[in-house]
Every structure is written in C-alpha cells, then in structure tokens.
Structure 1
C-alpha cells in the first residue's frame, strides 16, 4: 500500500482533498467522501501512469499548496 499526504479544505459547501505527492484532487459532500474520491482518482491515475511512458508526474509546489489553502 502506498502512503500519500492529503490536505483537506472546505469550499462552497463541499470538501476538497488534495494529494501533495501528485497534485490529484477529489471532492465530496464530506471529508470522507472527498478522501474516497481522491483514492479512486489516484488508483485511476496509477493505472494510466503504469502503461504510458509520457505522463507528467510531480509533487505540487509550496506555491501551489499556498494557493490551494487560500483560494475560496
């Protein structure tokens, strides 16, 4: 099992979960929903990443994290 760092925030009545290692996002009506959607998105991304050789993959920057935390 892989380990990921997730930042959660509430925005406009829903929750957003951001994975710091790859910049993938999930959203839902609750924190649990957002994390579950994020897990699904990471799994889907990983399937494509394992098959394709030209997929860009990078952790988000401090600037992107700051923007995620402050926009709303």
Structure 2
C-alpha cells in the first residue's frame, strides 16, 4: 500500500481533496467522499500509467499548492 499526502479544502458546497504527489483531485459533499473519489482517481490513473508510458507524472510545485489553497469561494 502506497501512502500519499492529501490536502483537503472546503469549497462552495463541497470538499476537494488534492494529492501532492501527483496532482490528482477528488471532490465530494464531505471529506470522506472527497478522499474516496481521490483514491479512485489515483487507482484509475496508475492502471492507465502502467500501460501508457508517455503519460506525464509529477509532484505539485509549491506555486501550484499555493494557488489551490488561495482560490476564494464565490458564495
């Protein structure tokens, strides 16, 4: 089992889970749903990554994390 670093952020009406190691996201009505969606996205990504060698895979930069955390809610 691999471990990933996840940042959770509440947005307008839902939660967003961001994986720092690969930039994938999941969202849901609560934290648990967002994390579940993120886990599914990671699993799907790596299934494709195994067979498609030309897929870009990199960790988030500090600037990208800052942007994710500083986006303001519009409601």
Which residue does 1:4 correspond to in 2? 4
Q: Does 1:35 align with 2:47?
A: no
User: After superposition, where does 1:53-64 map in structure 2 within 5 Å?
Assistant: 53-64=53-64
Which residue does 2:19 correspond to in 1? 19
Offset, 1:41 = 0.2
User: After superposition, where does 1:43-58 map in structure 2 within 5 Å?
Assistant: 43-58=43-58
Q: Which whole-Å CA distance do the structure 1 matches of 2:4 and 2:50 have between them?
A: 17
Q: Which whole-Å CA distance do the structure 2 matches of 1:44 and 1:38 have between them?
A: 10
Segments of 5+ residues of structure 1 without an aligned counterpart are none
User: In angstroms, what is the RMSD of aligned CA positions?
Assistant: 0.4
**Residues matched between the structures, number:** 72
TM-score by length of 2: 0.95
Segments of 5+ residues of structure 2 without an aligned counterpart are none
Q: Which whole-Å CA distance do the structure 1 matches of 2:13 and 2:7 have between them?
A: 17
